Structure 1
Amino acid sequence: MTRLARHYVPDQPQHIILQGLTGPAFLDEGDYLYFLACLADAARVADLAVHAWVLMPDAIQFLVTPSFESSVTMAMQAVSRRYVETFNRRHGRRGTVWRGAYCATVIEPDRYFLLTSQVIDHAPVRNHLVAEPGNYPWSSYTHHIGLRVDSFIKDHPLYRTLGDTPFERHQTYRDLSAQPLDELEVNNLMQSTLNGWVLGSAAYCEWAAQTANRRLKPLLLRDRPPKVRTTGALAHAG
């Protein structure tokens, strides 16, 4: 099954994964801080709303809503180029640090937005970097529970439905984080993003395809099981 070209549906959030090539993409605190500065600048220029993020040594993930069709591409190309140039100069290296281009997919917000945010914020735990999401400094988790303010994050309306006040929203998000994630749903999210398939109910996928005026789901051949990414690829992605 071929990976679909990246797609865009107006006002719909996207989950993004960018994987490292060989070795860590971040070697010290300065790398993490500089990448976040690059992300903030690129998101502002490309009019890209960032809702959740995580930077891990071998992969990064974002939850975003693009304002126009090329928002994601513009932002990812700008931040990747700028970061790699400085990373190589700082550490005396050459070449890229990324394993090809980024992967992305549109998600049905009512069903998958909060799940995707949780998956991103829990990625360091799932990858055995920390025992608790709050112990990892390079994710949006502490922003979502009110321990830090990430100035470049734009809270999505669905996040704001978690409570009438910031305190209520922070507490509700913390409570959600204490619940185990549905492994089947997590796998569906990761597979959809890595393969570029829109993720949602049948009705949502049909609506998204009509709105985008293109196919957003794979065509399955009769009696032939779909190919999926290996568990290794999923593990590295988070």
Structure 2
Amino acid sequence: MPRRARILAGGYPVHVILRGIDRAAIFFEDEDRRFFLDTLGMASQEASVAVHAYVLMTNHLHLLMTAERTEGIPKVMKQVAQGYAQRINRRYRRTGGLFEGRYRSALIEADRYLLACYRYIELNPMRASLVVAPGDYPWSSYRANALGSADPIVRPHARYMELADIESERLAAYRRLFEDALSTELLECLREGTNGGFVVGSQQFERQIAAMVGRRTWRGSPGRPRKESDISQQGELPV
């Protein structure tokens, strides 16, 4: 059975998850994390991909990125995953695959879900009970986005910049977003959308992207699968 093509489009933010094979560790020392970020920085610059948020956990990682061209994110992920896996295999004298396979991704509607995705990513260490506050974790973009710390990886999205015109006010506004917990519904929406390779957004946004890529962009219902042509028929879309 052929693999389902990813839903990607230039200019739209994408949430990416990459896990270790069998949920095993992919980062063993701080030097590994620094190497990964250096590789990500070079690859994203070469492919004209902006990294807005990231977190490096022990056995998986999250990225929020926007590419100028549709092929940008696949190029970055291939370069980073291959280069990092080769480095780890050499460094620790191991063989075989490091990652579970293909990275998982979801196209994110910027107006409604982008800042929630920022928070979802940067709150990962707290949900894993590794720290008591997101700023305590050194391997995420929180310190750049919330505290203004220098981070060569991070490039802010326009939606983030709209929080305020003055940097100090923008940082404060971003920190205030973390005062409210993400709802269970929103957490599941981001998880299911990314793990399933769908779009995270409103029905109008789903229709817009479906028309662009020529196929369904939302999780299907049980029963007979829709034909590809159905996605353009208003009456066949979910309500």
TM-score by length of 1: 0.89
Deviation per CA, 1:191-235, whole angstroms, max 9, x where unpaired? 000000111111111111112233222331349xxxxxxxxxxxx
Counterpart of 1:98 in structure 2 is 99
Counterpart of 2:19 in structure 1 is 19
Which SS does the other structure have where 2:21 is aligned?
Answer: coil
Match of 1:135, as an amino acid? D
**Aligned ranges 1:51-130 → 2 under 5 Å:** 51-130=52-131
Distance (Å, rounded) in 2 between the aligned partners of 1:196 and 1:181: 21
Distance (Å, rounded) in 1 between the aligned partners of 2:41 and 2:189: 29
Counterpart of 1:190 in structure 2 is 191
Distance (Å, rounded) in 2 between the aligned partners of 1:25 and 1:170: 31
Counterpart of 1:151 in structure 2 is 152
Does the CA-based 8 Å contact 2:37-2:153 persist in structure 1? no
Does the CA-based 8 Å contact 1:26-1:32 persist in structure 2? yes
1:162 is aligned to 2:163: yes
Distance (Å, rounded) in 1 between the aligned partners of 2:208 and 2:217: 10
Which SS does the other structure have where 2:94 is aligned?
Answer: coil
Distance (Å, rounded) in 1 between the aligned partners of 2:220 and 2:28: 41
Which SS does the other structure have where 1:39 is aligned?
Answer: helix
Deviation at residue 59 of structure 1 after TM alignment: 0.7
Counterpart of 2:51 in structure 1 is 50
Deviation at residue 147 of structure 1 after TM alignment: 4.5
For structure 1, the 5+ residue unaligned runs are 224-238
Identity %: 33
Distance (Å, rounded) in 2 between the aligned partners of 1:47 and 1:187: 30
Which SS does the other structure have where 1:78 is aligned?
Answer: helix
* Structure 2 CA distance for partners of 1:162 and 1:3, relative to 1, 3 Å: farther
Counterpart of 1:233 in structure 2 is none
Deviation per CA, 1:38-67, whole angstroms, max 9, x where unpaired? 100110111111100000001100011111
Bigger drift between 14-23 and 76-85 goes to 14-23
Match of 1:16, as an amino acid? V
Distance (Å, rounded) in 1 between the aligned partners of 2:118 and 2:199: 17
Match of 1:151, as an amino acid? P
Which SS does the other structure have where 2:147 is aligned?
Answer: coil
Distance (Å, rounded) in 1 between the aligned partners of 2:43 and 2:79: 6
Which SS does the other structure have where 1:138 is aligned?
Answer: coil
Bigger drift between 125-134 and 112-121 goes to 125-134
> Larger C-alpha radius of gyration, 1 or 2?
2
Match of 1:35, as an amino acid? F
Distance (Å, rounded) in 2 between the aligned partners of 1:70 and 1:109: 19
TM-score by length of 2: 0.88
Q: Which has the higher contact order (CA 8 A, sep 6+)?
A: 1
* Structure 2 CA distance for partners of 1:135 and 1:207, relative to 1, 3 Å: same
Which SS does the other structure have where 1:104 is aligned?
Answer: strand
Distance (Å, rounded) in 2 between the aligned partners of 1:66 and 1:168: 27
Distance (Å, rounded) in 2 between the aligned partners of 1:147 and 1:92: 38
* Structure 2 CA distance for partners of 1:155 and 1:164, relative to 1, 3 Å: same
Bigger drift between 210-219 and 96-105 goes to 210-219
Counterpart of 1:7 in structure 2 is 7
* Structure 2 CA distance for partners of 1:74 and 1:164, relative to 1, 3 Å: same
Match of 1:124, as an amino acid? P
Does the CA-based 8 Å contact 1:110-1:158 persist in structure 2? yes
